[in-house]
Structure 1
Amino acid sequence: MKEFITKAKLWLTSTFDTETQTEIQDLIANNPKDLADRFYKDMEFGTGGMRGVMGAGTNRINKYTLGRATQGLSNYLIENTDKEQLSVVIAYDCRHNSKKFAKVVADVLSANNIKVFLFEDLRPTPELSFAVRHLDCDAGIVLTASHNPPEYNGYKVYWADGGQIVPPHDKGIIANVNALNFSEIKFDANEDLIETIGKEVDDVFITESANKGSLSNNIDRKNLKIVFTSLHGTSIMSVPDALAKAGYTDVHIVEEQRKPDGDFPTVKSPNPEEPEALEMATNLADQLGADIVIGTDPDCDRLGVAVRDLDGKMKLMNGNQTMVVMTDFAIQKWKNEGKINGNQFVGTTIVSTELVNEVAAGYGVQTNVALTGFKWIAKMIRDNPDMDFIGGGEESFGYMVGDFVRDKDAVTATLLACEVAALAKQNGSSFYEELLKIYVNNKFYKEHLISITKKGMDGAAEIQQMLSDMRNNPILEIDGEQIETLSDYQASTRKNLITGEVTNIDLPKSNVLIYQTASGTRIAARPSGTEPKIKFYFSVNTSLDKIENAQQVESELDAKIQRIIKEMKLN
């Protein structure tokens, strides 16, 4: 505690404004527990950049932590780029303080003689990724906390290729940030270097999205009834226009959730993974007899898709299911055009369904598997310049179509989901039936996610202890099946627990453990890179002989997952 108070008192100096000093003084006098949480560590870049609760302190999102990150980025750009005039584009979402924070970031960049393109108002994260290359910038920044609660905000950095920063740039930037004192931040803006942008970039982005997301010429798009909700986020700026541009005319927006609002007043969580978040949309779909529901998270990089099951009821697909269906559809399009020649690949992550690998292999398409986080899928494109990237996804409701955007992109993915639904309807099928056909042709995979929240310093220690226990005292059997392999991405090893054989994993180190049986039953554990959570991913599979038996098989797989959860004492 003494150490935390010493760190906090540094925030009572003239480097910090009066408002910040007052907030710190109150914490020292009245709330030592909160003070400890704000100063026990510095904000770090995780899988989704820097994200946290807003407020004063080194472990909070505020003018100074954002300023320090931006000063470190500025220093790194100046040291590592030969261009006479560096440039960075900035976007922000609907969260509290996002617009103010975006201007702080612009001020610091311009004070370092870096040209800034600042969006005039909130914009989707994928448009920021697109704008980096469209404007030929050296980097991009978006102020967002994705689907986190209202008290959060965040900061993501993109490199010149439009992808989030990865090695060696991430480590180089962080080293520069860590070397800085807050007194070294240049906050005095050079307004001549800050240019406001808007419609001129929007128009190109929407047109390109419609081109990339509309994969077939012979689809009756007017016959698909769509319900869309932006969940109070930025997608309202792009998705309706993109749908219209692509030719979808029967689109119904959830009006109560249309207005951007950082309080997200109509939902407990603005997370399209949660059925409750899409409840207003699915209710409207039932009233209208709609075919498909699309909901996006606040910064519009992830989408939830609900479609009608075999009984005609709206069913929320999970991220693995939508990824598999959209990947199959996209590859089929390439095949129909005669473009599959063994030089194509799709991207996925280590905790996503292995069904996507089977689907791609069936077409002769390679699957590249990366760590969790779309920055690694974007890096695949950079690392394989001689190969064609068809698309990529992850279990957490993110998908990227082609490479014109180098991050998960709910705008283009919305169009792709609607293409699947529209063509299926035209052919007397449905989005859900297309998924079941994939299960019949391969295997029925069922996935489930459990997130356990452990807040604060003590919570972080608990999460690390849970992973340490699983690493040092491995599970040997689960639901009557012997564990065959334990993959430890922190140690970069995969150990066969039956034979003792150890092989190396050729991926960057990450604190992830994956247990797998010979039948493909899989349990993965990892700490979230953006929230105070530990996540457990379960995957089981079996054969499906015909669509009519899908409900029974799914019930059996669900029961298996619940037995595993109970055995691990996670319920």
Structure 2
Amino acid sequence: MKIEQNILTAVNEWLTPVFDTETQESIKKMMTSSPKELEESFYKNLEFGTGGMRGVMGPGTNRINKYTLGKNTQGLSNYMHQVFPGRELKVAIAFDCRHNSQSLAKVVADVFSANGIKVYLFSDMRPTPELSFALKYLGCQAGIVLTASHNPPEYNGYKVYWEDGGQLVPPQDAEIINVIENLKYDEIKFQANEDLIQFIDTEIDDAFIKSSIANASFDTAATAKENLKIVFTSLHGTSIKAVPQTLAKAGYTNVNIVPEQAEPNGDFPTVKSPNPEEPEALTMALSLAEKLGADIVVGTDPDCDRLGVAVRNNDDKMILLNGNQTMVMMTAFLLEQWKKAGKIDGKQFIGSTIVSTPMMMELATAYNVECKIGLTGFKWIAKMIKDFPELKFIGGGEESFGFMVGDAVRDKDAVAATLLMCEIAAQAKAKGSSVYKELLKLYVDFGFYKEHLVSLTKKGIEGLSEINKMMVEMRTNPVKEINDQRVIMLEDYKISVAKNLLTGEEETMNVPKSDVLIYYTEDGAKIAARPSGTEPKIKFYVSVNAKLDSVENAPEVEANLDAKIKNILLDLKII
């Protein structure tokens, strides 16, 4: 196959003495035995997406390795010296259970220390939300976590946090990327100053767990906690370091851990994907729940920032809740607790994203708080806290199974969220109800909202091209009708324009640009399309709703909504 000149130029650079012998030999092997792999490894530079930078591990500019991460870290070091002149610079670093995470974390620590920056490094894997907490706790200007969340085993990643504890957002992200792109690989300082690297562990663990309990506990009776039977799985990830300990210290004594998945393992051997969004990932937990007669199942992804939840329905069967449902449950519970405590005075807000359930707006209106809607990714919810210091953040989430309780952690946090879900379940059970029954009551009060996500995987150069073509087609030829309903509004976040398709009137949206399209139909359906910022996928989000006059009619209304979703997907040729 013919390889483009720009790729050959990049390859030749990596065959110079700047790069170690092992890297050079791996590249030479690809040149002779796998030119396609060579092309995939060098056709572009890894980019920051909605959850930082993620990629397949290996040599090359489009891969996670000591040089791509070293270059990022050198650029970040240079930037920190520019924007914090004369200050003692400090960073915190954590890593997950993935292959090479610990060694790559040490490389990152070495580069920071070589640039005169104090490093606080966890000596073992820790949940991602603990890194956000540690950064603030230790007064650092920045933080890094080595993780690829729920991506396949061959992936790793690099997430950057700023001094407020949230991930990088404008303008810092573009400014740092500009510094990184202007660096040469021979400018990376790999020689560590070990005196500037300090290992951190139990002090941060204890403070983090104490904070999680303070934020996510709401006067649940001790007997209610003891009577709640919980099944928990860490899916071979980092949550085993924090969730069981947090639940125990909060008073939950009946926690049953899935033993086959308790051991951290970067191969994730018992699941196809360590993603709590995928029902298959919780198969073992559900089996244990049936065996034990458990009330609730919780599973977290490898870096412990997202959680999947299963509860018993009215037929006593375990069913999986989706991310929108858990988000609505947790938000409604928090709002009610704040209301009971007399803490709502119109100066509070909850947060959500443009592809999550519109039901969040209904909750906000009912409780006299604001609902701020941001782009996909929790960095935007964390930014809301920073941008509106006059408002108190109650909680918020996104459809992809992430939730944040309060502002002690400035990222989605499955530790506090797991405890919060157990509080909801324990209190519901104590009064003769259940999580599922409480969810149905919310649907009666606010409308039955049902959402569905379809993800289409498109790998490699060809896949990226296909995804781009699909988005271009949807922009240049927007559909006028979906499932026999007129499309009344089209929001194009790439150009920040909302267009009324009935009148032709256009309005500028005051949000950062993003490759997202959202259609709204006259019967209240919402259909969004966006390429994933962390995986080779294009995602389609469908939200429909209907009135529910009584809990007894929920099965019929839900069946109608499911049929409506299916018809929309068929009409758009997504399935």
Indicate the TM-score class for this superposition, using the shorter chain for normalisation. over 0.9
Alignment of 1:25-36 (within 5 A): 25-36=28-39
Report the equivalent of 2:472. 468
Deviation at 1:360, TM superposition (A): 1.7
Report the equivalent of 1:21. 24
- CA displacement 1:45-68 (0-9 Å, x = unmatched): 110000010000000000100000
Q: Are 2:220 and 2:423, in contact at CA under 8 Å, matched by a contact in 1?
A: no
SS at structure 2 position matched to 1:390: strand
Report the equivalent of 1:291. 295
Report the equivalent of 1:183. 186
Whole-Å Cα distance in 2 between the matches of residues 101 and 432 of structure 1?
A: 43
- CA displacement 1:485-509 (0-9 Å, x = unmatched): 0000001000000010101111000
Q: Are 2:443 and 2:548, in contact at CA under 8 Å, matched by a contact in 1?
A: yes
Deviation at 1:211, TM superposition (A): 1.0
Whole-Å Cα distance in 2 between the matches of residues 519 and 221 of structure 1?
A: 43
Q: Are 1:124 and 1:235, in contact at CA under 8 Å, matched by a contact in 2?
A: yes
Q: Does 1:115 align with 2:118?
A: yes
SS at structure 2 position matched to 1:310: coil
Q: Are 1:216 and 1:333, in contact at CA under 8 Å, matched by a contact in 2?
A: no
Q: Are 1:93 and 1:234, in contact at CA under 8 Å, matched by a contact in 2?
A: yes
Report the equivalent of 1:2. 4
Amino acid at match of 1:249: T
Report the equivalent of 2:266. 262
Report the equivalent of 2:526. 522
Amino acid at match of 2:549: D
Report the equivalent of 1:148. 151
Report the equivalent of 2:168. 165
Aligned residue among 413, 418, 431 for 2:417: 413
Deviation at 1:216, TM superposition (A): 2.7
Q: Does 1:193 align with 2:193?
A: no
- CA displacement 1:106-149 (0-9 Å, x = unmatched): 00000000000000100000000000000000100000000000
Q: Does 1:227 align with 2:252?
A: no
- CA displacement 1:425-447 (0-9 Å, x = unmatched): 01111001111101001111110
Report the equivalent of 1:352. 356
Q: Does 1:243 align with 2:243?
A: no
Give the 3 Å change call, closer, same or farther, for CA 83–357 of structure 1 in structure 2. Answer: farther
Q: Does 1:313 align with 2:317?
A: yes
Deviation at 1:198, TM superposition (A): 0.3
Alignment of 1:296-375 (within 5 A): 296-375=300-379
Report the equivalent of 1:498. 502
Whole-Å Cα distance in 2 between the matches of residues 380 and 84 of structure 1?
A: 27
Whole-Å Cα distance in 1 between the matches of residues 85 and 426 of structure 2?
A: 49
Report the equivalent of 1:540. 544
Whole-Å Cα distance in 1 between the matches of residues 141 and 233 of structure 2?
A: 33
Percent of residue pairs bearing the same amino acid type: 63
Deviation at 1:215, TM superposition (A): 2.0
Aligned residue among 138, 141, 165 for 1:138: 141
Q: Does 1:76 align with 2:102?
A: no
Whole-Å Cα distance in 1 between the matches of residues 356 and 276 of structure 2?
A: 17
Aligned residue among 26, 47, 51 for 1:48: 51
Aligned residue among 426, 430, 435 for 1:422: 426
- CA displacement 1:298-327 (0-9 Å, x = unmatched): 000000010001111111100000000100
Report the equivalent of 2:388. 384
Whole-Å Cα distance in 1 between the matches of residues 382 and 431 of structure 2?
A: 34
SS at structure 2 position matched to 1:358: helix
Q: Are 2:220 and 2:426, in contact at CA under 8 Å, matched by a contact in 1?
A: no
Q: Are 1:5 and 1:28, in contact at CA under 8 Å, matched by a contact in 2?
A: no
Whole-Å Cα distance in 2 between the matches of residues 249 and 510 of structure 1?
A: 45
Q: Are 1:452 and 1:534, in contact at CA under 8 Å, matched by a contact in 2?
A: yes
Whole-Å Cα distance in 2 between the matches of residues 410 and 83 of structure 1?
A: 37
SS at structure 1 position matched to 2:376: coil
Deviates more, 1:196-205 or 1:30-39: 30-39
Amino acid at match of 1:384: F
Q: Are 2:518 and 2:527, in contact at CA under 8 Å, matched by a contact in 1?
A: yes
Aligned residue among 558, 563, 573 for 1:559: 563
- The root-mean-square deviation of aligned C-alpha atoms, in Å, is 0.8
Report the equivalent of 2:42. 39
Whole-Å Cα distance in 2 between the matches of residues 489 and 320 of structure 1?
A: 22
SS at structure 2 position matched to 1:408: coil
Deviation at 1:285, TM superposition (A): 0.5
Deviation at 1:217, TM superposition (A): 4.5
Whole-Å Cα distance in 2 between the matches of residues 6 and 483 of structure 1?
A: 48
Amino acid at match of 2:248: A
Report the equivalent of 2:65. 62
Q: Are 1:209 and 1:411, in contact at CA under 8 Å, matched by a contact in 2?
A: yes
Q: Are 2:497 and 2:507, in contact at CA under 8 Å, matched by a contact in 1?
A: yes
Deviation at 1:11, TM superposition (A): 0.6
Report the equivalent of 1:281. 285
Deviation at 1:30, TM superposition (A): 2.0
Whole-Å Cα distance in 1 between the matches of residues 271 and 491 of structure 2?
A: 37
Amino acid at match of 1:168: P
Q: Does 1:204 align with 2:207?
A: yes
Whole-Å Cα distance in 1 between the matches of residues 86 and 559 of structure 2?
A: 59
SS at structure 2 position matched to 1:110: helix
Q: Which runs of 5+ in 2 are unaligned?
A: none
Amino acid at match of 1:486: L
Q: Which runs of 5+ in 1 are unaligned?
A: none
Whole-Å Cα distance in 2 between the matches of residues 6 and 458 of structure 1?
A: 21
TM-score, normalised with respect to structure 1: 0.99
Deviates more, 1:38-47 or 1:3-12: 3-12
Whole-Å Cα distance in 1 between the matches of residues 465 and 218 of structure 2?
A: 47
TM-score, normalised with respect to structure 2: 0.99
Whole-Å Cα distance in 2 between the matches of residues 249 and 520 of structure 1?
A: 44
Deviation at 1:6, TM superposition (A): 2.1
